[in-house]
């Protein structure tokens, strides 16, 4: 039912308008239950028109991306949303529905989200529900969106402060990952991307883990070949997992490595997603060592990599508040909490951890 | 990819809790791209628990259905929405999301909508988007919902007064069509159901058309065998069409017979959906005669059946307003408007009619 196909050049049957072959671009095809998606790593925003079907297109973007890149946008109608997690609401979705109606967008209209994860999540949700669904694609402009939000077909909005309470699973037709656009990204946003790439390496790609250790300088200067490998290896890994488990029934849970406690830290302390996930990964690795699954030396290697990429290995937070946040986590089932642990660098395992064991580990957290 | 399977008894593999075989019940399986749905014509609300999976269930219903039938509901949590088309909004959807959060409904929660088309449409949309989708089923309590909204996987809400602007395609796991519940239905609602059944007969089932002509009294008294045939034949026909064309790319358009002008009449004059569709069907039949597709005698037979079932054959409306409403119709594509015409009683054809021809026909409408 699901498969991942890798290919190096553009397939004219799939995108009839894309006539050129791009030497340095990597393409990845993801076939999921909700459709077919092509991730284009190293493609440029300027080439977006080549991927658009004939007919009407509407762009959805945010105020910052618009300010920085509007001159490179194709000349089509545009809807702009606010910036940040607070913009990821049904109110923003309704603003976009309203704008689409004003623009008389119909079932044949193609929608392109240009922005980070928030723009992609809202755009994917609106496109999946406007007139019961129209076609859509993304230009992912942040490292986090390129390695994470671009793949997997998850979209949606927050509701009453709860993350992603309302949404659907639906794949974009294409995702352009323009690596040059990362140069305008604030350093903190870049680090959030690094956190997810470290996560991908830790759960399933020890070669990427080694590569990250060796290429700290290239990463820091956004060296094209280094970042291309970070993004394409991340996309490959995530796409492989998602293709096997689109609806998060099993294996996809591995992608929550560092996120179960990470989300609780994020909600409790207000630190950034990347920082919270980094600390969450260190906690999960320590728990893996306590359980005898992982060598201490490997856990230390993970902590060292996280620190080297400018991310925190621990974030102080009240244990009681963390447990309360964990209990509200929507992924809970029964008495235990599904938790992703490591059996080695590049090898994750999902276990149901008793709440009492988690409570103890959290209370002993440094 | 898609198929319809008919079967007369309950399949224990599909509903492991349903152990009895019901002599007079008809079951219909619909396999669409978005899932598998079973329609149970003649099943009773009281037997609902047998179709629920183990674990948590939440009921969504409206104030009227609750008042009439709450004593027959299983003892589970319940969310109540308002009555009528004005309740079919994102605001109602948000009320339900909020209630589900308050009830701590999670991904394993099963949602049952008990009500007419509006309750089913909202419930299907909320269930398809809460936590990116949870499992759901319906108890359809109106004739219109049983013959129309129950099949096809369309769900959604209105937005800024436009019908069904926001929604998704997603099949309920089951639809219980309890024919006894129709006894509490107001006469006007019953007529709206008859309008859709006449539509189904006209576009694809001449035997049902004959049966409707012969069984006016049985229909009027809600004779069980008559209504069961009306509902099961309608469901069969609609399920066949939907299974072949879930996303309304082609053949499914036939189900819009009477609806293209009908929606315009409904919006312009405020008459009920059933009345507007009835007048729309007569208009479409007359246009079919003008185009030489249909004999006048057959068009007259359709008008006679519509009148016999208490529905209007014409509704006065301003031609200019009707055209303006038609142009805004979301199903338009290019210069013409897709219109469903008849080539005979039981045989529909979809043609793109030039706007000018429609304008003339509407201006000459009686």
Tens of pLDDT, residue by residue over A236-256, are 999 888 878 766 667 889 999
Crossing angle, helix A187-204 and helix A224-244, to 10 degrees? 50
Q: Do B108 and A333 touch (CB under 8 A)?
A: yes
Residue among A132, A160, A169 whose CB faces B132 most closely:
A169
Per-residue HEC secondary structure of chain A comes to CCEEEEECCCCCCCCCCCCCCCCCCEEEEEEECCEEEEEEECCCHHHHHHHCCCCCEEEEEEHHHHHHHHHHCCCCEEEEECCCHHHCEHHHHHHHHHHHHHCCCCCCCEEEEEECHHHHHHHHHHHHHECCCCCEEEEECCHHHHHHHCCCCEEEEEECCEEEEEEEECCCCEEEECHHHHHHCCHHHHHHHHHHHHHHHHHHCHHHHHHHHHCHHHHHCCCHHHHHHHHHHHHHHHHHHHHHCCCCCCHHHHHHCCHHHHHHHHHHHCCCHHHHHHHHHHHHHHHHHHCCCCCHHHHHHHHHHHHHCCCCCCCCCCHHHHHHHHHCCCCCECCEEEEEEEEECCEEEEEEEEHHHHHHHHHCCC
Per-residue CA distances from B336 to A56, B135, B349, B352 (Å): 18, 40, 15, 5
Q: Do A130 and B165 touch (CB under 8 A)?
A: yes
Which has the minimum average pLDDT: A26-30, A188-192, A355-359, B138-142? A26-30
Q: Do B156 and A129 touch (CB under 8 A)?
A: yes
Which residues have a Cβ under 8 Å from the Cβ of A330 and sit 6 or more positions away? A162, A165, B106, B107, B131
pLDDT at B15: 56
Per-residue CA distances from B317 to B307, B325, B361 (Å): 19, 11, 13
Say yes or no to pLDDT of B37 above 80. yes
SS3 B360: helix
Contacts of A169 in chain B (CB under 8 A): 132-133
Say yes or no to pLDDT of A14 above 60. no
Positive or negative: CA dihedral A128, A131, A132, A134 = negative
pLDDT at B163: 85
Instruction: Kindly indicate the confidence band of residue A319, based on its pLDDT and cuts at 50, 70 and 90.
Output: very high
**Which residues pair with residue A166 across a beta bridge?**
A157, B130
Gap between the terminal Cα atoms of chain B: 45
Q: Identify the H or E element spanning B276.
A: helix B273-290
**Which residues pair with residue A156 across a beta bridge?**
A167
Reply yes or no on whether A263 is catalytic: yes
Instruction: Kindly indicate the confidence band of residue A332, based on its pLDDT and cuts at 50, 70 and 90.
Output: very low
Average pLDDT over chain A reads 89
Q: Identify the H or E element spanning B268.
A: helix B259-269
Residue among B165, B332, B333 whose CB faces A101 most closely:
B165
Q: Do A98 and B160 touch (CB under 8 A)?
A: yes
Which of B248, B251, B357, B359 is an active site residue? B248
How many angstroms separate the CA of residue A138 from the nearest CA in chain B?
Answer: 19
Per-residue CA distances from B20 to A139, A240, B12, B175, B318 (Å): 54, 44, 9, 17, 55
Count of CB atoms situated within 10 Å of the CB of A191:
20
To test the contact with chain B by mutation, choose from A129, A135, A324 the residue with the greatest count of B C-beta atoms within 10 A, namely A129
CA atoms of A141 and A64, how far apart (whole Å): 11
SS3 B8: coil
pLDDT at A44: 96
CA B16 to centroid of chain Cα atoms: 28
Q: Pick from A82-91, B27-36, B280-289 the range whose average pLDDT is largest.
A: B280-289
Where b means 16+ CB within 10 Å and e means fewer, A50-70 reads bbbeeebbbbbbbebbbeebe
Integer Rg of chain B from CA: 20
pLDDT at A15: 56
CA atoms of A105 and B11, how far apart (whole Å): 44
For B6-15, the pLDDT digits (tens) are 444 444 455 5
Q: Do A165 and B128 touch (CB under 8 A)?
A: no
How many angstroms separate the CA of residue B324 from the nearest CA in chain A?
Answer: 14
Which has the minimum average pLDDT: A9-13, A96-100, A230-234, B185-189? A9-13
Q: Does B136 touch chain A (CB under 8 A)?
A: no
CB B49 within 8 A of CB B17: yes
Residue A172's φ and ψ, nearest 5 degrees, are -70, 150
Which residues have a Cβ under 8 Å from the Cβ of A179 and sit 6 or more positions away? A41, A42, A146, A222, A224, A227, A228, A231
CA atoms of B165 and A57, how far apart (whole Å): 18
Which of A259, A266, A267, A365 is an active site residue? A259
For B52-91, the pLDDT digits (tens) are 999 999 999 999 999 999 999 999 999 999 998 889 999 9
CA geometry: angle B154, B128, B35, nearest 5 deg: 65
Average pLDDT over chain B reads 89
Which of B26, B154, B200, B229 is an active site residue? B154
For B101-116, the pLDDT digits (tens) are 999 999 999 999 999 9
Of residues B9 and B158, the one with the higher pLDDT is B158
Integer Rg of chain A from CA: 20
Which of B190, B256, B298, B365 is an active site residue? B256
Q: Provide DSSP, B62-110.
A: EHHHHHHHGGGS-SSEEEEE-SSGGG-SHHHHHHHHHHHHHTT--TT-E
Say yes or no to pLDDT of A6 above 50. no
Counting one residue from A and one from B, how many pairs have CB atoms under 8 Å apart? 78
For chain A, what percent of residues have pLDDT higher than 90? 73
For A47-70, the pLDDT digits (tens) are 999 999 999 999 999 999 999 999
Reply yes or no on whether A335 is catalytic: no
Reply yes or no on whether A248 is catalytic: yes
The torsion angle over the Cα atoms of residues B140, B142, B148 and B151, rounded to 10 degrees, is 10
Say yes or no to pLDDT of B332 above 80. no
- The mean pLDDT value for B308-330 works out to 88
Contacts of A330 in chain B (CB under 8 A): 106-107, 131
SS3 B324: helix
CA atoms of A288 and A340, how far apart (whole Å): 9
Which of B38, B190, B252, B267 is an active site residue? B252
SS3 B60: strand
Of residues B12 and A160, the one with the higher pLDDT is A160
- The mean pLDDT value for B220-241 works out to 93
- The mean pLDDT value for A97-107 works out to 95
Residue among B107, B129, B330 whose CB faces A330 most closely:
B107
How many angstroms separate the CA of residue B299 from the nearest CA in chain A?
Answer: 32
- The mean pLDDT value for A92-113 works out to 96
CA atoms of A359 and A279, how far apart (whole Å): 16
Of residues A203 and A162, the one with the higher pLDDT is A203
Q: Does A335 touch chain B (CB under 8 A)?
A: no
Contacts of A132 in chain B (CB under 8 A): 154, 156, 164, 167-169
Instruction: Kindly indicate the confidence band of residue A337, based on its pLDDT and cuts at 50, 70 and 90.
Output: confident
Q: Scan for tokens 């064309």, then name that residue.
A: B245
Which has the minimum average pLDDT: B40-49, B144-153, B232-241? B144-153
Per-residue CA distances from A290 to A361, B107, B150 (Å): 9, 30, 53
CA atoms of B295 and B343, how far apart (whole Å): 8
Instruction: Kindly indicate the confidence band of residue B20, based on its pLDDT and cuts at 50, 70 and 90.
Output: very low
Residues 164-223 of B with CB under 8 A from A: 164-169
pLDDT at B22: 47
Q: Do A132 and B97 touch (CB under 8 A)?
A: no
Gap between the terminal Cα atoms of chain A: 45
Reply yes or no on whether A67 is catalytic: no
Reply yes or no on whether B196 is catalytic: yes
Closest CA to B194 of B307, B109, B100: B307
pLDDT at B34: 67
Q: Do B165 and A131 touch (CB under 8 A)?
A: yes
Say yes or no to pLDDT of B331 above 80. no
- The mean pLDDT value for B281-303 works out to 97
- The mean pLDDT value for A175-194 works out to 94
Q: Scan for tokens 């408007």, then name that residue.
A: B337
B160: nearest CA partner in chain A: A98
CA A356 to centroid of chain Cα atoms: 31
CB A109 within 8 A of CB A134: yes
For chain A, what percent of residues have pLDDT higher than 70? 90
A160: nearest CA partner in chain B: B98
Which residues have a Cβ under 8 Å from the Cβ of A319 and sit 6 or more positions away? A359, A362, A363, A365
For A115-148, the pLDDT digits (tens) are 999 999 999 999 999 999 999 999 999 999 999 8
Reply yes or no on whether A132 is catalytic: yes
Q: Does A128 touch chain B (CB under 8 A)?
A: yes
pLDDT at B317: 93
């Amino acid at each position: 039912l699901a498969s991942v196909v890798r290919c190096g050049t553009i397939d004219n049957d799939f995108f009839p308008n894309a006539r050129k072959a791009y030497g340095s671009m990597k393409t990845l095809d993801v076939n999921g239950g909700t459709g077919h998606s092509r991730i284009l790593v190293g493609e440029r925003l300027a080439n977006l028109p080549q991927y658009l079907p004939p007919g009407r297109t509407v762009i959805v973007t945010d105020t910052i991306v618009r300010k920085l890149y509007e001159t490179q946008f194709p000349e089509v109608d545009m809807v702009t949303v606010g910036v940040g997690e607070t913009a990821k609401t049904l109110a923003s979705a309704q603003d976009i529905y309203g704008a689409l109606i004003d623009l008389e967008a119909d079932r044949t209209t193609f929608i392109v989200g240009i922005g980070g994860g928030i723009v992609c999540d809202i755009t994917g949700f609106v496109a999946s529900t406007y007139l019961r669904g129209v076609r859509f694609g993304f230009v992912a402009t942040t490292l986090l969106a390129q390695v994470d939000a671009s793949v997997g077909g998850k979209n949606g909005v927050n509701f009453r402060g709860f993350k992603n309470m309302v949404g659907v699973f639906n794949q974009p037709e294409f995702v352009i990952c323009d690596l040059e656009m990362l140069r305008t990204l604030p350093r903190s946003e870049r680090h959030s991307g690094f956190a997810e790439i470290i996560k991908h390496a830790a759960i399933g790609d020890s070669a990427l883990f080694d590569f990250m250790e060796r290429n700290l300088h290239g990463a820091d200067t956004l060296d094209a070949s280094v970042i291309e490998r970070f993004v394409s290896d991340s996309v490959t890994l995530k796409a492989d997992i998602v293709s096997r488990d689109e609806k998060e029934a099993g294996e996809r849970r591995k992608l929550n490595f560092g996120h179960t406690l990470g989300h609780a830290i994020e909600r409790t302390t207000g630190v950034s997603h990347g920082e919270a996930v980094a600390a969450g990964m260190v906690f999960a690795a320590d728990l893996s060592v306590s359980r005898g699954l992982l060598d201490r030396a490997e856990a230390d290697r993970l902590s060292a990599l996280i620190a080297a990429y400018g991310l925190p290995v621990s974030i102080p937070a009240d244990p009681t508040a963390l447990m309360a946040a964990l209990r509200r986590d929507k992924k809970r089932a029964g008495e235990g909490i599904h938790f992703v642990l490591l059996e080695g660098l590049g090898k994750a395992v999902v276990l149901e951890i008793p709440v009492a064991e988690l409570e103890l580990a959290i209370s002993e957290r440094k």
